Amino acid sequence: MLATQDFRHIEVTPHIHGFGAQVTGLDLSEPLPAEVLEEVKAAWAEHAVLAFPDQPLSLEQLEDFTRQLGEFGHDPFIKPMAEHPHVLELRREPDETASNFGSGWHSDWSFQEEPPAGTILHSEVIPPVGGNTLYADTTRAYETLSAEMKERIEGLQAIHSAMLPYGRKGVYSQDKVKRTMEIIVSKEAEVSQTHPIVRTHPVTGRKSLFISPVYTIGVEGLDDEKAQGLLGELYIHMTKEEFIYRHKWQPDMLVIWDNRNTMHFAEGGYDGHLRVLHRTTIAGEVPV
C-alpha cells in the first residue's frame, strides 16, 4: 500500500498523530484517473478521515465520487432525498429546537450484517458557529489498551442494534418538536446483530475497537451489568483527548471517514442558523 510520502498526484497534510488528514490538489467534480484514485484510497486507509476543501459539487457529482470508492451502502430509518435515493440531506433550519442529528458517539449503521465501510459528507451551508464533527481513532485506542484488557475482550462478540435511537421507544420516538429531517421509527430497528469487539481492518490488517454507545447494547455471554461495565471502561478509553480529531467545517468541503476504525460525534452549538450537508455511504463487509 502506498504511504503518504510516496504520493505524486495529491497533497496530503496529516493532523496530529496521523489520524485525519486534509487532501488538496485534485478536483472531485470529475472522475479521478486510476493513479489518483489509488492515492486517495491509500490516504484514506492510512489516515481514516480525509477532508477535501474547496469542492463545490452537485448531488450527481457527489454520487459519482461515491461510486468510485464502492457500491452505495443501505441507509435505513432516515428518508432519503426524493430524486436521489442514496443521498441523505442533513438539514437543520434556524428555528429548529430538536437535538442535532448524530449527537452521540457511533459508527454508522454498525447494527447491519455488513455495516458501511465509509461515509461521505459534503457541506452546502455551514453556520458561523458550532457544528464541529469529532472523530475517535479506535485503532490507536485498541493498540494502547493494557495487555490485560486485550485479553479480556479477545474473541468477545458485541451486540449491536438501532433500538436506542430508532426503536419504537427510542430517542427519536420521543421527539415533540419540529425536525426537518424525516426519521423513520420502526420495529425493524429493534433487531440485533453481533460483531467482534476487536475488528481487523480488511485493508491495513490493523485491529480496532468496533463498538459505540449509540448502537452497542450488550456483549454475548455477559449479563447486562458486566457487559455495560466492560463497555463503559472501553468507551472512556476510546474517547480520550489523545484519540480525538475535531473537524471544523467549511462550505463546499467533502469529508470521508472509515466506519471500520472510527467513531464520530456531531456537535451542536448552531441554534438560529441554517445548516445543510449531504451524505452518502459506501457498502462494507462482514466485520472479522
231: CB partners within 8 A, 6+ apart: 158, 211, 213, 216, 219
Does 288 fall in a domain?
no
Asked if pLDDT for residue 1 goes beyond 80, the answer is no
User: pTM score, two decimals?
Assistant: 0.96
Contact predicate 49/135, CB 8 Å: yes
Closest CA to 242 of 164, 166, 139: 139
Q: Which long-range contacts (CB under 8 A, 24 or more apart) does 13-18 make?
A: 14/47, 15/47, 15/245, 16/245, 17/137, 17/140, 17/242, 17/243, 18/46, 18/47
Q: What is the pLDDT of residue 166?
A: 97
Total number of domains in the chain: 1
Q: What is the pLDDT of residue 5?
A: 67
User: Residue 87 belongs to what domain range?
Assistant: 4-282
Query: What 3-state class would DSSP assign to 37?
Result: helix
Alpha-carbon span 40 to 62, nearest angstrom: 15
242 dihedral zone (left: phi>0; alpha: psi -120 to 50; beta): alpha
DSSP of 91-137: EE-TT--SPPTT-S-B-TTTTSSS--SEEEEEEEE--SS---EEEEE
Alpha-carbon span 222 to 205, nearest angstrom: 28
pLDDT, tens digit, 9 for 90 and up, residues 114-149: 999 999 999 999 999 999 999 999 999 999 999 999
Does 287 fall in a domain?
no
pLDDT, tens digit, 9 for 90 and up, residues 32-70: 999 999 999 999 999 999 999 999 999 999 999 999 999
Q: How far is CA 168 from CA 11, 53, 100, in A?
A: 47, 39, 20
Does 27 fall in a domain?
yes
pLDDT, tens digit, 9 for 90 and up, residues 152-172: 999 999 999 999 999 999 999
Reported as half-sphere exposure (CB side, CA atoms, 13 A), residue 195 has a value of 29
Residue 268 C-alpha cell reads as 451542536
Alpha-carbon span 204 to 70, nearest angstrom: 17
* Residue 248 per-residue DSSP state: P
Does 261 fall in a domain?
yes
List the CATH number of the domain containing 236.
3.60.130.10
